[in-house]
Every structure is written in structure tokens, then in C-alpha cells.
Amino acid sequence: MSFLEYNVARTPAGLGKVLAMNWALVLLITAVASLGFLVLYSVAGGDWKWAEPQMQRFVLGLGVMFTVAMIPIWFWRNISALLYAMTLVLLLGVEFIGDTRGGAQRWIDLGFMRLQPSELMKVTLVMMLAAYYDWLPATKVSRPQWVILPVLITLVPTFLVLTQPDLGTSILLITGGGAVMFLAGVHWAYFATVIAAGVGLVTAVLKSRGTDWQLIKDYQYRRIDTFLDPESDPLGAGYHITQSKIALGSGGWTGKGYMQGTQARLNFLPEKHTDFIFTTLAEEFGLIGGLSLLTLYMLIIAFCVVSALRMKDRFSSLVTLGIAVAFFLFFAVNMSMVMGMAPVVGVPLPLVSYGGSAMIVLLLAFGIVQSAHVHRPRAQGEGRLLRR
């Protein structure tokens, strides 16, 4: 279906748009965020210093999500390239006017909040690629000359983020971009080539250590060393992951109880309210609590996938699936990291970790998903009550 046909297709209007939203998805998102509020209150020792600002950001983010959802999906498709370009400019701006924290230059101070453009790029990259493949005829998807542009669209922001340096977000960008290309139908041989090149790149990174052409920072090498052998320096580079494993293991099946987690409350666990918040949850609520959060995450993805399968235009389907894949990568990388199954790369737990940019941008992304769901063309009888 063309976008001209899409624009005139039968879709809800007015109050019908609100009623047509995927309310199950809204409830699941709220449930995950609410669990995050509880954990943030706990890790602060019964103080609202982290939970209250997070609640305010969530309310703001919900407002963003509802606003975005009410705007027709064709509008977001038409400005995808503009949004991508603007985010790219913001990433370039970080190089000149960005705030530095913890040795990394990733934020732009807006006064009322600190914006991390790399978080926004996770969404606009998916939108840009979805719009590209919506425009490109299916017969040209795997032709080399038409594969080069989406590769460049993915690699340029990835390189800019890597120089901040932010290895975790760089990995998410390149993986998310590749996922959209795969979903669009790009031939598997390209991905096999990329995987082979990735193996070569990893080898080059390891070989470059200590040379004049060293490819990554020293602290990133230490993270790799810690991942391979965390016990080699349990009080230094391996401290984070060692304490994280202690917290995870001490939670057992049902946990120590709400606000009873000793690793977090006694400050043995670093970054307990941001990157390592999952270990706090697991310590207090145990394996059951961790699996419950994972179940909520998987239900969110399931609702996105089901919604995408009902889409009748390529952009809506690709952008919904792309955001679902990106969301999966967020929590999969974070959970793998805190369990010692992946190097520590500083990826927050979505909707749970403390932070403004990540929360609002993620809810904006779900607003795009909701816009695609609300404004999808419907059969003559579908949603008839909504239009009365």
C-alpha cells in the first residue's frame, strides 16, 4: 500500500485515536517503570532522591508518547530523514559543547535536563532505515549499490558515538541498524561478511593494545580483561562485576526482601541506581523477581511484534519491529553485563535505571509504535464503535 493510499485509509479520529491505542502495551510499560520506582526508592535507603525525579520524567515521557501517538504515522515517515540529520548534528555538537562526566563526553546541557544525543540516535536511526526501505523497491534491497547507503547511515553515527567514547551504545547502534536491514530482506551473505569483518576487527583491537595505533581506550581494555578474568583484580577493575555476582547470588529464589538488600544498602554495589540496578532487584526479589521483570519485557516485545504483523505498510511494520529489536538489545546487553556474560559497557536497564534521556527517548520510541498501531488502515468493520 502506498502512503497516498494509506493517508486516505479508514483510521480512527478524535477520541477514537485514544481508544485505539494499544493499552496493553501502555500498562506493561507502566508496570516496568513502577517496578523501577520501587527499586530506586529502596537503593536510596527509603529516600525519594532518585525515585521522585524518575516518576516526573516518566509522566513527561508518557505525555510525549501520547502526543506522538496521535500524529499520523505517515508524518513520522516523511520527517525521518530530517530527524536523523538533526540527531547527527547533535552528535557532532557533543564534540564541541558536550558535558564531560566520568571521562566521557556524551551529554548536552539543556538547562532543565542533560540530553544524550546517542540515545535519540537509537530511535532516529531505526526510523531512517525503515523510511529508506519503504521507499526502495523490494527487488533492489540486496543489490550492492543500494546496500552501501544504509551501511553508511548506520556507520557514521556509530563512529561518532564510539569517539565519545561509548562502546555500549555503538554496539547497540550497529546491531540495531543491521537488524532493520535484515528485516527489510537484505541477503544473508552481507551479514556473513560483516560477522567475518567483526572477527577481524576484534582481532585488530586486541593486537593494537599498547601500540601507537591503539584502537580503543585503556579503560575499555581493562573491561575486556575483567570480563575474561574478573577474579584477577577483585578490588580494582573486577570490583563491579564481583559485587554484582555476589548480589545476584545472595538473592536466591525469593530474595532478601524489599529494602533488605545488603550489597546495595551498604554501598558495596557500585552504580546501584543506574547500570547495575538489576542486581539490586535480584538481591531483594530473587530469581522470581528477575524472571518477572524479564517476562514483562518479553510481553512488551510480543505486543510490538503482533502489532507489526498487522501493519499494511512497510514503514510501519519495519519501524515497529526495529524498535522492538532495539528494546530487546537494551535489556539483553544490560542483564548479560551485570551477570558477567558480557563486558561492562555502560548500557542502562530500560525503564528501570535512573536517567532522563533514556527514559524519555524510549517512551518517544513507543509513541512511534503506538502511532503506527493507531493509524494503520482498518477493514470496513474494524473499529466501527470507535468511530461513532
Full DSSP string of 160-204: HHHTTT-HHHHHHHHHHHHHHHHHHT--HHHHHHHHHHHHHHHHH
The CB density around residue 260, as the number of other CB atoms within 10 Å, is 12
Q: Is 219 domain-assigned?
A: no
* 330: in domain: yes
Can you say how many angstroms the Cα of residue 379 is from the centroid of all Cα atoms in its chain?
33
pLDDT value at 301 more than 90: yes
Domain extent, residue 299, equals: 3-189+246-387
Q: For residue 223, is it within any domain?
A: no
The number of distinct structural domains making up the chain is 1
Grid coordinates representing 90? 547533535
> Does 1 score more than 50 pLDDT?
no
Q: Is residue 224 part of a domain?
A: no
* Domain membership flag for residue 231: no
Which residue, 273, 348, 343, is CA-closest to 119? 348
How far apart CA 142 and CA 296 sit, in angstroms, is 36
Evaluate whether residue 346 is within a structural domain.
Answer: yes
Is residue 354 in some structural domain?
yes
Taking only the tens place, the pLDDT of each residue in 137-176 is: 988 999 999 999 999 999 999 999 888 878 888 889 999 9
Percent of the chain, pLDDT > 70?
86
pTM of the model: 0.85
Q: Report whether pLDDT(297) > 90.
A: yes
d(CA 68, CA 17): 12
Mean pLDDT for 321-350 is 87
Enumerate helices (H) and strands (E) in the chain, giving the number of each: 16, 3
- Specify the long-range contacts of residues 104-110, CB closer than 8 Å, at least 24 apart: 104/164, 104/165, 104/166, 105/164, 106/164, 106/166, 107/357
269, 263 contact by CB (below 8 A): yes
pLDDT at 148: 93
- The amino acid occupying position 284 is E
